[in-house]
Each structure stands twice: as C-alpha cells, then as structure tokens.
C-alpha cells in the first residue's frame, strides 16, 4: 500500500506523519511550533522530509493559504502566516512529488472520503476556529476556481461597514462566525476587552442569560451564512469542524436552516475525520493525483 509523508502547516503549529491509501495514520505525528521565518520553515520541512522520504511514495502538504490549481505552490497566504510564505519553493524540498492543498480543502476531502460527508454529491465544510475556513466539494472535485482560491468564506454580513475582517475588508462571514468573532461579540455586548470565548462557553454552561444571548447571536450569524450557502450550492450536507464546532448544536442549526431556504433540505453535521483530517485529506488527494504533473 502506498504511503505519503504528510504535513499540516498552520500559523502556530506544523504537524507531520505518515498516511496510507486508506487514510490511516500509520506513523506517529510530530509536532513543531511554526518558525517565524520562511528560511526556518523551509529548513524544518527539508529536515523532516530527509528523515522519512525513503519510506514514502509522495509528500502531501495541507497548508494555510490558497494553493494553485496544479497543487504545486501556495499563491496567497493569510495574515496568520509569515510574510513571504507563498514564495517558498515547495517543489525543491524533495526528489519525490510534493503535492499541496489548502488545509480547509484537504480536511473537506478527508470528510468526503472517510468522514461525515462520505458519498455526498455536494458538500460544504466550514472550519470554525480562529478564522473560518471553507472547503466545497462538487461532483467528486474540490471547488478551486480559476486560480485555486475558491471557497473563501468572505461574503458580507452587512452592506455597510461595521466590523473589520482579517482579510482587510469589512463584515465578512469570517468576522461574525469565527471563534474570534464570538469574543468580539462578547467584548461589544459587555464592553469588556478581556472577555474570552471560554468565558462565553462557560457562561452558557452555567446558565448565564447574558452569555447565552451573546452565544445565540453568534449562532444566528452562522445560521444566516449557512442559509445563503445552502441556496447557492444546494448541498447534501454542511460539515462543521474546527475548535469551535463542538459548541454548536448541529441539529438546531439544521432545523433553522431548512426552515428558510429555497433549495431542498440539507443536513448539518459535525466533522468525523479527526484532528488530522488536513493531513489525511492532502495524502488521499496526493495519491489520487498520481504521477500527473509529477516528477519522474
């Protein structure tokens, strides 16, 4: 069975492990703090690859930032990554083929192949974490768009300017549906810059009505976004993943969404492929990509 050396490169952590063709993680996961310079990131990746390269057939990288349609390079990076990240020459890191995919797309693919959206015709995955990631799968293909950057959850929640988004624009879905947004909602409602998402979640658990109100507003914003996506994509299902997903009531969200869309009813589910779904998805995509565009 083929094996991939897989990486998940995020703004704060880098993970590596070996993944087989069935999406099993067959060797231990290594964890690193993401270095602060592109030279140090390149060195870390090269070092890891040199250790495991001989054992595997392909290198599969799940990364923050948009990845081109050839899956060879990062074409745009987010505020979370070091400046110049997209100038890294990933192809020079190994004699074997190096396959890249955006982390949300890769995780959505893992859900589609072995997780919660298995067998769906159209699925939309939302990762609710520090930001909001999106991975949309249509007819067995990730929606990549003309450049590779599709699936960005930066549609507007207000047509006028209210809340700045990390993308530089205003009032994007990400600015209302992320964990950071829940903190921001609480800051605004309580006029307290030190309140945390943890405070809100704990408050809800303890029956605090003010915290419940803040939480409900955040959930309402997520529902509003999902309704719009449901009408655009008419998907079989939405998959919620990321650190904040666990706090949502997916059955309640599903019911509210289906009460107010013009397309056919959809499902809302929690992700099932686990914390390493980005690595698993990138590896499964890399195997499928075969030697197309590959090195000899």
Please report the sign of the dihedral spanned by the C-alpha atoms of residue 212, residue 226, residue 170, residue 80. positive
Q: Which is nearer to its own copies, 53 or 236 (CB)?
A: 236
Query: By CB under 8 A, is residue 24 in contact with its own copies?
Result: no
**99's torsion region: left (phi>0), alpha (psi -120 to 50) or beta?**
beta
Query: By CB under 8 A, is residue 150 in contact with its own copies?
Result: yes
Return the H-helix or E-strand segment holding 175: helix 174-177
Query: By CB under 8 A, is residue 122 in contact with its own copies?
Result: yes
Query: By CB under 8 A, is residue 66 in contact with its own copies?
Result: yes
**Which residue in the set 28, 54, 139, 291 belongs to the binding site for its own copies (CB under 8 A)?**
139
Q: How far apart are CA 64 and CA 11, in angstroms?
A: 7
Q: Which is nearer to its own copies, 51 or 164 (CB)?
A: 164
Q: Which is nearer to its own copies, 158 or 198 (CB)?
A: 158
**Which residue in the set 203, 235, 242, 281 belongs to the binding site for its own copies (CB under 8 A)?**
235
Half-sphere exposure of 98 (CA within 13 A, CB side): 19
**Which residue in the set 8, 185, 221, 256 belongs to the binding site for its own copies (CB under 8 A)?**
221
74 phi, psi to nearest 5 deg: -90, 130
Query: By CB under 8 A, is residue 164 in contact with its own copies?
Result: no
Query: By CB under 8 A, is residue 119 in contact with its own copies?
Result: no
Least distance CB 96 / its own copies (angstroms): 28
Least distance CB 231 / its own copies (angstroms): 4
Return the ∠ at Cα 12 (arms to 7 and 18), rounded to 5°.
15
Q: How far apart are CA 115 and CA 133, in angstroms?
A: 17
**Which residue in the set 64, 132, 229, 282 belongs to the binding site for its own copies (CB under 8 A)?**
229
Query: By CB under 8 A, is residue 111 in contact with its own copies?
Result: no
β-bridge mates for residue 14, sequence order: 9, 32
Query: By CB under 8 A, is residue 74 in contact with its own copies?
Result: no
Q: Which is nearer to its own copies, 40 or 264 (CB)?
A: 264
Query: By CB under 8 A, is residue 236 in contact with its own copies?
Result: yes
Q: Which is nearer to its own copies, 119 or 207 (CB)?
A: 119
Query: By CB under 8 A, is residue 135 in contact with its own copies?
Result: no
Write the DSSP string, 219-262. HHHHHHHHHHHHHHH--SEEEEESTTGGGS-HHHHHHHHHTT-S
Number of residues forming the site for its own copies (CB under 8 A): 53
Q: Which is nearer to its own copies, 150 or 270 (CB)?
A: 150
Q: How far apart are CA 269 and CA 110, in angstroms?
A: 14
Contacts of its own copies in 237-266 (CB under 8 A): 260-264, 266
Query: By CB under 8 A, is residue 38 in contact with its own copies?
Result: no
Half-sphere exposure of 252 (CA within 13 A, CB side): 7
What is the number of other CB atoms lying within 10 angstroms of the CB of residue 289?
17
**Which residue in the set 1, 28, 47, 159 belongs to the binding site for its own copies (CB under 8 A)?**
159
């Amino acid at each position: 069975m083929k094996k991939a050396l897989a990486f998940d490169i995020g703004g704060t952590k880098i993970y590596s492990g070996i993944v087989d063709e069935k999406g099993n993680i067959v060797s231990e996961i290594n964890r690193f703090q993401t270095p602060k310079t592109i030279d140090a990131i390149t060195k870390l990746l090269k070092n890891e690859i040199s250790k495991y390269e001989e054992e595997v057939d392909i290198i599969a990288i799940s990364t923050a930032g948009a990845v081109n349609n050839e899956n060879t390079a990062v074409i745009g990076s987010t505020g979370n990554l070091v400046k110049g990240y997209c100038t890294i020459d990933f192809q020079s890191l190994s004699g074997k083929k190096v396959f890249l995919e955006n982390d949300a797309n890769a995780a959505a693919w893992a859900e589609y192949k072995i997780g919660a959206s298995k067998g769906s015709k159209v699925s939309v995955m939302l990762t609710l974490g520090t930001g909001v990631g999106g991975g949309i799968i249509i007819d067995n293909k990730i929606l990549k768009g003309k450049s590779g950057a599709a699936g960005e959850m930066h549609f507007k929640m207000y047509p006028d300017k209210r809340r700045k988004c990390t993308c530089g624009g205003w009032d994007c879905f990400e600015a209302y549906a992320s964990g950071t947004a829940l903190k921001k909602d609480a800051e605004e409602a309580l006029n307290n810059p030190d309140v945390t998402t943890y405070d809100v979640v704990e408050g809800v658990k303890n029956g605090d009505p003010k915290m419940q109100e803040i939480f409900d507003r955040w959930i309402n914003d997520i529902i509003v976004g999902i309704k719009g996506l449901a009408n655009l994509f008419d998907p079989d299902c939405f998959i919620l993943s990321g650190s904040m997903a666990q706090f949502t009531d997916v059955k309640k969200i599903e019911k509210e969404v289906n009460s107010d869309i013009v397309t056919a009813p959809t499902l809302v589910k929690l992700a099932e492929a686990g914390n390493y779904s980005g690595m698993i998805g990138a590896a499964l995509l890399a195997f499928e990509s075969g030697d197309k565009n590959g090195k000899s």
